[in-house]
Amino acid sequence: MTYAQFLERKIDVAPLVGLDVQPDQLSSALKPHQRDSVLWALRGGRRALFAAFGLGKTVMQLEWARIVAERTGGQVIIVAPLNVRREFYDDATHILHQQPPVYVKTQAEADAIKARVPVVITNYERVRDGDIDPRRFAGVTLDEAATLRSFGSKTYQVFLDKFKSVRYKLVNTATPSPNRYKELIHYAGFLEIMDTGQALTRWFKRDSTKANNLTLYPGRERGFWIWCASWGLFLQKPSDLGYSDEGYSLPPLEVRYHRLQTDLADAGSEPNGQMKLMRDAAFGLRDAAREKRESIAARVAEAKRIIDEAPADEHFVIWHDLEAERHALTAALPECVDIHGTMDLEERERRVEAFAYGETRLFATKKSLSGSGCNFQRYCHRAIFLGIDYEFNDFIQAIHRIYRFLQTRPVVIDIIYMDSEEEILRVLKQKWKQYEELTETMAGIIREYGLGTAAMESLKRTIGVERVEVTGEHYRAINNDCVEELKNWPDNSVDMILTSIPFGNHYEYSPSYNDFGHNPDDDAFFQQMEYLTPNLLRVLRPGRVAAIHVKDRILFGNATGLGMPSVEPFHADTIAHFRKHGFVFFGMVTIVTDVVRENNQTYRLGWTEQCKDGSKMGVGCEEYLLLFRKLPTDTSKAYADVPVKKSKDAYTRAQWQIDAHGFWRSSGDRLVTKAELQAAPVSKLQDLYRRYSRQNVYSYEDHVALAKQLDADGRLPATFMVCAPGSWTDSVWDDINRMRTLNTSQRLKKRELHICPLQLDVVERAITRWSNPGDLILDPFGGLMTVPYMAVKMDRRGAGIELNSDYFRDGLGYLQEAEDARDVPTLFDLVEGVAT
C-alpha cells in the first residue's frame, strides 16, 4: 500500500444514514420552523435539536419518530425524564392527532407491543440500569439530553456504548450550555459525528493545572461553532429560519434579588488562626455549604413573606437544594406539595403533573428533579430560588420551566441569597450574560448559512500540503509532511535526529489527514510511522544518535471498561518499532514529572482514593528520551564514522570522572539540613529538597516525616510536589524546567500555543552530549522549531520539518531570531576588522 493510499484510508466518510423525506410527507400540524427542523434532522440521520424553550421540541421529536418508524418498519424509543411523558401524550393526541407513545419499563414490554405501537417512551434510569436494550430499536431520541449530565460521566459512557449501533439518533435539549464545551462534544460523540478525544485535541487547549478546564484555541472559535452548527440546530426563534415570530414572543421577565444579612458573630478563622472579619461563602465548598445550612430559617422566612404578600391565586415553584430546606418549607407552608429523590417514581410523577396542570398552588422541588423537561407555564408564572450556587445550567433550566414561549403572563423570579454569597451571585450573572452572547452567536451562524453544509467546506480535512522551504545560513525550515519530505533527502546527510514524535493518537496537531496524531489508535499510528522510520535510518550518518522523546498514555477505566486507569506503554512500543527498522536501542533518559500536578490534570492519583483502596493506584507517568543509534560502517570498535569528539583541554579527566559516576552531587557549598527545609518558604522548597535528597543517604521514613511536618504546618501544596526525590544518576533528569519552552514566547506574543511543547533543557542537554559543533540536527516533527532553534544557538545547524503552517511560521520567526543573535557582531569583532 502506498503512502497516499494509507492517507486516503484515514478519511472518515460518514454513512448516508439520513432519510429522503419531502415536506408534504410531514404532519400539516407542524409550524414552518418545526417542519424545517424535522426535515433537517431526518435527512441528517444523526442530529441534535437545540431549540429554545417553547418552540415545540416535543412535537418535533414525535414527528421525527413517526417517520423513522414508518420508513424502517421498526420501533422507535423516546428516552426522557420520568415526569414529562404526559407532555408527549398530550402533544401526540391534541396537536398531531396521532397514536401517542406508550410508556415501557422493560424490553419485554416494548417487544410485546412492537407490532401495534411504533413509538414507545421510557425514562433514563431504565436505560442506564439495563432494563431497556437500545440496540433493539430502529431509532432513538433523547429528550432533555442535558439530563445525562446529572448522572455523571460514567453514565454518559454507558449511553455511548449502548446506543452505538442505533442507526437513527436525535438529541434534544433547549440549553446545550455553550459555555460547557465538553457537553457539546459529548453530544457529537453520542451522535457519532466525531470521536470525543479527536474533538478535544482539534479544537481545545488544556489547562495543565486543572483537569477538564478547556479553552478554545484562539482563532478557532468560529470554526468550532460552525462545526457544531453542522450537526446541531441552535434555534432561538422562528425568524432564525426566516419565518414570522408571531406567537413566539417571550413575556416580560422581572428578576428580584433578596439580599439577607449574615450573622457576623461567627465569621470563623483563617488556617493560621487569624479571625475573619466577614463570612464569605465563595471561599470554598465547605464555606458555601455551611452558609446554606446556617441560613435556612432566614431564607425560608423570606420565601414565606414573598408568597404571603402575593395574590392568593398566584402559583409558585420553589427551587431548593437541601433536604433540610424541603422540610423547613413544608413546615412553614403547609399548603406546599413537595417531591424528593427517594419518593416512589409514580407518586413523584403524579405530584409534578398535579402542579403542572394547576391542581396545587405551591410546589417545592430540586433543580436536579424537575429542572429539565417540565412545563409549568400553563398555571405558574412565579418562581423562588431559595438559594444560589455556581451551577448556571441548572439555574437557567429551572427558570425556563415557566419563562418560555406561549407563557401568557409576565414572569417574576425571586432569588434569595445571603450577603456572604455576593461573589457567587456575580459569577452567576456573568455566566448568564455569556450564555446569551454565545447563544446569539449560534443563531447568527444559522441565519448566515441556513441548514445547508456550505459552512463546512472550509473546515474539511485535506490531504497534502504545499511545500514551503526557508533557509538561513545555519538552518532549514520546511513546511511539509515529513514522510514526503525525507524521501528526497540524501543518504547519511544528518548528524543527529532529535524529536518528540506524536504520542500516538493522544494529540492532533493540524486538520490534515497527513497529521500523525490523526489516527484511531496506536496501531494505526505506527503503521504511518512505517513510511517514515526507514528514511530516518537512511539519512542518519552511520554511528550517530536518534534521540526520541515520548510519554506513556493513561487509559481511563470508563473508556476501557476495566473500571480503573491503566497505562499504555507507548515508550515500549516505540522501542520495538525503531528496533524493527534497524536502529540499535542503547538506553533511555527518564524525565521526572510532578505527580501532584499530574493528578490535578487527570484526577488519577488522588490521595482520597489512595486511602480508600491503594491496590488500584499507580504512580506518576514520567517522560522518556529514548536513545537509538545507527550502526557505524565499522563495528569492530563501534566508533561513529564521524565521531562526536570532545577536546581533553575543554573536557578534563576530572570532569569526565564526575560525569561518568552514577551519583551527581549538587553544586551547593554545603549540605542543606532538614531544619532549614522546614523553615524555608514554599516557593524554595522544591529546589532545596531536591538538593537535600541528592546529598544525603535516602531515608523513606525521614522523607515522609518531612512531608507530614510541612502538611501539619499548612505548607504542603495540593497543586504541585515540593518533596520530590532528587536523582543521583544521569539517566534520570529531575530538574527539567517545564516552563522553559517556546510556548512561553508564544504566550507573550499572544500566538497559538503548541499542544505538546518540548522543553528547551532536554534539547540542550541532548545536543551537547551527542553532537559536535557544526553538525546538522534534524527534527522531523519540528513544531515551533525548538530543536533547530537550540541547534543554531549552540553553534550547530538545524533542520525542522513541520506540517502545521501556523507552527511553521511561528517557528521560522524563532529560527531567524536565533540566527540574528548568533551573527550579531561583537565589539571585539569590530576591533579585529579594523586591525586587519
Q: In order along the chain (836 residues), what is the average pLDDT of each group of 10 residues?
A: 86 63 95 95 93 90 98 96 86 96 96 96 90 95 78 66 89 70 82 78 60 63 76 86 88 95 62 52 62 90 97 96 95 95 88 94 93 88 94 88 90 95 90 80 70 52 84 95 96 97 70 79 91 98 96 72 80 96 92 58 61 72 89 92 83 48 29 43 53 50 59 57 49 46 46 55 86 96 90 95 89 87 51 48
Which ranges of 696-776 does DSSP label H, i.e. alpha helix?
700-712, 742-748, 760-770
**What is the DSSP secondary-structure string of 26-55?**
S-TTS-HHHHHHHHHHHHHSEEEEEEPTTS
Q: Which domains does the chain have, with CATH numbers?
A: 30-241 (3.40.50.10810), 253-433 (3.40.50.300), 461-594+737-836 (3.40.50.150)
| Rg of the chain over all Cα atoms, to the nearest angstrom | 32
CA 169-172-177 angle, 5° bins = 125
State the pLDDT at residue 447: 72
State the pLDDT at residue 834: 47
pLDDT in tens, 174-228: 766 555 677 788 888 889 888 776 677 667 766 544 545 667 766 567 777 777 8
State the pLDDT at residue 659: 39
CA dist 89 → 11, 210, 738 (Å)? 43, 45, 59
Query: Does residue 62 contact residue 127 with C-beta atoms inside 8 Å?
Result: no
Burial of 455-492, coded b for 16+ CB within 10 Å and e otherwise, reads beeeeebeeebeeeeeebebbbbbbbbbbbbbeebeeb
State the pLDDT at residue 658: 38
Single out the residue of 652, 722, 150, 673 nearest to residue 397, CA to CA.
Answer: 150
Tally of CB atoms within 10 A around 7: 21
Task: Copy the grid coordinates of residue 161.
Answer: 456504548
Q: Whole-angstrom Cα distance, residue 126 to residue 369?
A: 16
Query: Does residue 456 contact residue 780 with C-beta atoms inside 8 Å?
Result: no
Task: Copy the grid coordinates of residue 500.
Answer: 518528540
**What is the DSSP secondary-structure string of 198-249?**
HHHHHHEEE-TTSTT-EEEPTT-HHHHHHHHHHHEEEESSGGGGT---TT-P
Q: Whole-angstrom Cα distance, residue 220 to residue 823?
A: 37
Q: Whole-angstrom Cα distance, residue 806 to residue 814?
A: 13
Query: Does residue 60 contact residue 170 with C-beta atoms inside 8 Å?
Result: no
State the pLDDT at residue 380: 97
Task: Copy the grid coordinates of residue 567.
Answer: 497505562
State the pLDDT at residue 709: 64
Phi, psi of 381 (to 5 degrees): -130, 15
